[in-house]
Chain A
Amino acid sequence: MTATTVSQHVRYQTKVAHRRATSEPAWVRWTFIAIALAFLTLFLFVPLAAVFTEALRKGWHTYLSALVDPDALSAIWLTLIAAAIALPLNLIFGVAAAWAIAKFEFRGKSVLITLIDLPFAVSPVVAGLIYVLIFGLQGWFGAWLIDNDLKVIFAIPSIVLATVFVTFPFIARELIPLMQAQGKDEEEAALVLGASGWQILWRVTLPNIKWGLLYGMILTNARAMGEFGAVSVVSGHIRGLTNTMPLHVEILYNEYQYAAAFAVASLLALLALVTLALKTFVEWQSAKHAADAERESNE
């Protein structure tokens, strides 16, 4: 007990000494903080505040009526559907890709990782375009789709596809380094004890990666609900049918219905704030778990 207090004290003393030798004078510190805060205020906080101010400029009544408008409700519904389909699809892919990449060695692994990253590098507009080239009227399957009376472009399937594309790497990206760092000792131990492959996945791997998984899901969901460029190309902007929330915001804005546009936008901004709060919570939790695990292994 006393030994630890002394060592803590010594550590504190050296920390103070470090800081003196390796820090800046107070005026420099406060100037830096002031410049950084001014930059963030100008680019982040002011625009964020503007969303809510503009939304409420004409009062609560206009605000609420913009949100319960049938077209707005159908846009909200479609956004939820697209996210609800894209999320599990990319979740299954993310776990499968991370399992193959983190637990096994094979040729071309680094090429595969780069290919998984591709959708991050592709412009959302180009992402939408490629689906038009395949499913559009003059596309590969265009004639066949018309013959069979199926609609993909300017309909919900293409909106889902575009959403899946732009959120494609998020979960895999989160899981691959995490599972690589964890290694495969625990899975091998479970195998020796007689567990089947699915039992290992459900009882060993998934509990180990749950925070990373959740983190990836939060990012995927935020991007899925907010995607604009890719969805804009494939949706056709049919009100009440193929409009997602961000597209509805655009239409209202272009019709000079600013208060209504910002009202719907404020919902998306709230979603972004909730996303950031959840993300911070998950980061905090996973750091805590990592610290606990380290303490256990040291004991």
Chain B
Amino acid sequence: MSKKTNVLPGFNLSLGYTLLYLSLIVLIPLSAAFLKTTEFSFSEFWQVVTAPRVVASYKLTFGASLIGAFINAIFGLLTAWVLVRYDFFGKKLIDALVDLPFALPTAVAGIALTAVYAKNGWIGSFLEPNGIHVAFTPVGVVIALTFIGLPFVVRTVQPVLEDLESETEEAAASLGANRWQTFYKIIFPALLPALMTGFALAFARAIGEYGSVIFIAGNMPMVSEITPLIIITKLEQYDYTGATAVAVVMLVISFLLLLAINGLQWWSNRRNAEAIE
């Protein structure tokens, strides 16, 4: 349908307002970050963003986000499976509570997880005597990032699993496939795009996360200090250019992840459309 045949009013007004608001709130402020780095020469910029303490924070942020996203991919898939395929008492309530990490403010999640996993906490008091330290270590960072990414995989896999036609599974079964073969040859490939989208969303969210991590991490430089905290620390020392340099690195990574997620969603939608045809 071309624009010429469209008779509805309000195109100029609505698109104009959208672009204005988008520019004022998002695009111009974001470009400020990139412009700020021009105060640096490239070698200065490089020195700031590859300082040992900053590199250690990248490793922690990426490593912990990856592990968290993996945990969520495995248990999120299982949770989605259980919620779609089985019936049990309290299922609807649990289904609703899966979104808790979206709704619960991150600072509240942070202090709650710290209280639970600290030495005298409900779970920590079982782990600490066995030599497993969670609070104030990188393990705590993983726990927090797993928490905030939890709903993503469940919520991306769930609708695909609901729409999956049972005919293909029956066909596989009648052709002599056992249940496990049916799963990894028929069901899993159909879920894979959604699973990867959920994984990428959880990972992207974890990379930028701040509130839930800082309470449980202990924030020791080189050990348990995440990249967003480096930005905050530099800001508190009035090192605006340094903070912006690290922020620009994070922004570039976020943009790349956003592109990857869009690609995955496109793949996932196309896969679903094919399945329906």
A contact residues vs B (CB 8 Å cutoff): 18, 21-24, 29, 32-33, 35-37, 39-40, 42-48, 50-51, 54, 92-93, 96-97, 99-101, 103-106, 112, 114-126, 129-134, 136, 138-140, 161, 164-165, 168, 184, 187-188, 191, 196-197, 200-201, 219, 222, 225-229, 232-233, 245-247, 249-250, 253, 258, 261-262, 265, 268-269, 271-273, 275-277, 279-280
Contact = CB atoms under 8 A, between A and B. Distances in A.
B55 interface: no
28 contacts: A36-B75, A43-B150, A44-B150, A47-B115, A48-B104, A54-B115, A92-B17, A100-B15, A103-B10, A115-B22, A120-B204, A121-B208, A122-B30, A122-B251, A124-B211, A125-B229, A125-B247, A126-B228, A136-B240, A164-B25, A168-B26, A197-B9, A219-B102, A226-B104, A272-B100, A273-B103, A276-B99, A279-B103
B85 to A, nearest CB: 7
Given A126-B250, A129-B247, A132-B235, A226 B105 contact: yes
A226 B97 contact: no
A293 to B, nearest CB: 19
B14 A100 contact: yes
A198 B98 CA distance: 39
Contacts of A222: 102-103
B44 to A, nearest CB: 17
B156 interface: no
A161 B7 contact: no
B150 to A, nearest CB: 6
Contacts of A125: 208, 210, 228-229, 231-232, 247
Contacts of A40: 79, 94, 97-98
Contact of A262 (B14, B92, B111, B211): B111
Nearest to B23: A115
A100 B251 contact: no
Contact of B112 (A47, A140, A201): A47
A96 B14 CA distance: 5
B75 A39 contact: yes
Contacts, number: 284
B132 interface: no
A201 B11 CA distance: 13
Contact of B17 (A96, A103, A105, A265): A96
Contact of B258 (A23, A114, A280): A114
Contacts of B115: 47, 50, 54, 258, 262
Interface stretch (B46-54, B165-173, B188-196): B165-173
Band of interface residues on B: 35 or more
A32 B78 contact: yes
Contact of A21 (B2, B107, B169): B169
A29 B86 contact: yes
A115 to B, nearest CB: 6
Given A35-B78, A261-B111, A279-B103, 11 more contacts: A40-B97, A93-B21, A99-B14, A119-B26, A121-B208, A122-B30, A133-B32, A188-B8, A226-B108, A265-B105, A276-B103
Interface string B97-133: 1111111111111011101100001110000000000
B179 interface: yes
Nearest to A117: B258
Contacts of A93: 17-18, 21-22
Nearest to A29: B86
Contacts of B237: none
B240 A132 contact: yes
Contacts of A232: 210-211, 232
A32 B107 contact: no
B36 A133 contact: yes
A126 B244 CA distance: 8
B105 A246 contact: yes
A105 B2 contact: yes
B100 A44 contact: yes
A23 B187 CA distance: 12
Contacts of A105: 1-3, 6
Q: Which 4 A-B pairs have the closest CB atoms?
A: A123-B208, A226-B105, A228-B211, A229-B210
Contact of A276 (B75, B83, B96): B96
B78 A36 contact: yes
Nearest to B215: A253
A123 B250 contact: yes
